[in-house]
Structure 1
Amino acid sequence: MNNKARSKKALQIGVVYFSKTGHTEQLAKAIIKGIQNTSDIAIIEHNIRDDEIVNGRFCNELLFQQLTDCDAITFGSPTYMGSVAAQFKAFLDSSSDLWEKQLWADKWAVGFTCGAGLNGEQTCTLQTLFTFASQHGMLWLGLDKPSLGKEKLNRMGCQIG
């Protein structure tokens, strides 16, 4: 899309996540608040619900269409047993029709996670999200913050999220 066309359309960012205990939702809400502090950005927020998973498959075609219309997608899941939650994995797996057509190619992608342990294999969860985004041809935006910087935004030194 050229810059002239881009200036007429507000950026649209999807924030899709699963949260069982509310911790991942708190992170998602903080991300959304940060986005809302920037003008001309529309947000599509979706917390994956158990009733959207039928026979192990995530079913919400409207959400997939909304995310396809976004310029960027933020993915969030708690870390369970070293990876994304099963509910979020069902969402990832159900995107295969979009993958086949590469409908998310060239969109920006970001991921976030949380876990009970200091490490808890959260990096493995982020790597799952990174791999998923790469398979879709998305452009991953890393953290790009030094681990010992003044802001202390990356105290564990993980650059992918």
Structure 2
Amino acid sequence: MTRVAVVYHSGYGHTAKQAEAVAKGAGSVVGTEALLISVDDIDQYWETLEGVDAIIFGSPTYMGSASAQFKGFMDATSRTVFAKGGVWGNKIAAGFTNAASRSGDKLATLQQLSIFAAQHGMHWINLGLPPGHNSTKTTEDMLNRHSFWLGAAAQSDADVSAEFGPPKADLLTAEHLGARVAKVARQMAAGRHAVE
């Protein structure tokens, strides 16, 4: 059984909805268990995270960066994970983010998450989708409608609840990321087993 953890923070519920979609995608891959972990509860899960095959990180983008709560989780890994000497090394990693603005400097958050994963010696998996809505023949309903490469990006209007955002296309993009990570984690585990 491949285990994929989705570790996220959500301030208003929109990123939680995106995290649920990522976990749904990961869990859709045969032989994969998806774990949904809020950073609010992280102290219960440090040991669990040592035993998973992949961790997908998710944070809203606030003021061009990961949220303070997610950054608190990142900082805490310096003493709970990093100090143990590479216990997350060679795990699969990926990331997602959500903001009210179309851009909102979400790329900066995805870069922040990928650098964080690299500091732990993890293997970053990109979104693996072509640009979505970028011509007169494409629509807002397409996967990767924001045309990000590094991870899954969603946009939720600031004046709507999580019941109405992110839109379906962004949630399907998040599901795609979860499934992609689960497949790569299974391939990595099978390859590791084959060479042992």
2:73 is equivalent to residue 82 of structure 1: no
TM-score under structure 2 length normalisation? 0.68
Give the letter aligned to residue 101 of structure 2.
G
Partner residue of 1:131 out of 101, 106, 115: 115
1:81-127 deviation per Cα after TM superposition (whole angstroms, max 9, x unaligned): 10100000000011013123111110000100000101000000000
* Residue 19 of structure 2: aligned partner: 28
* C-alpha distance in 2 between matches for 1:99 and 1:128: 17
Higher relative contact order (CA 8 A, sep 6+): 2
* Residue 7 of structure 1: aligned partner: none
Give the letter aligned to residue 126 of structure 1.
L
2:28 is equivalent to residue 45 of structure 1: no
* C-alpha distance in 2 between matches for 1:144 and 1:33: 18
Contact 2:24/2:34 (<8 A) preserved: no
* Residue 113 of structure 1: aligned partner: 97
Given the superposition, is the C-alpha separation of residues 65 and 117 from structure 1 closer, same or farther in structure 2, using an over 3 Å criterion?
A: same
SS of corresponding position for 2:144: coil
* C-alpha distance in 2 between matches for 1:116 and 1:93: 25
- Offset of 1:148 from its aligned partner? 4.5
- Moved segments of 4+, more than 4 Å: 148-151
SS of corresponding position for 2:45: helix
* Residue 4 of structure 2: aligned partner: 13
1:115-161 deviation per Cα after TM superposition (whole angstroms, max 9, x unaligned): 01010000000000000001100000001211148783223332111
RMSD over aligned CA atoms reads 1.8
* Residue 51 of structure 2: aligned partner: 69
Mean alpha-carbon deviation: is it higher for 103-112 or for 140-149? 140-149
Contact 2:15/2:60 (<8 A) preserved: yes
* C-alpha distance in 2 between matches for 1:148 and 1:67: 33
TM-score under structure 1 length normalisation? 0.82
| Higher normalized helix content (fraction of residues) | 2
* C-alpha distance in 1 between matches for 2:21 and 2:132: 23
Partner residue of 1:141 out of 106, 113, 125: 125
Gaps of 5+ in 1: 1-9, 53-58
Mean alpha-carbon deviation: is it higher for 62-71 or for 103-112? 62-71
* C-alpha distance in 1 between matches for 2:150 and 2:82: 22
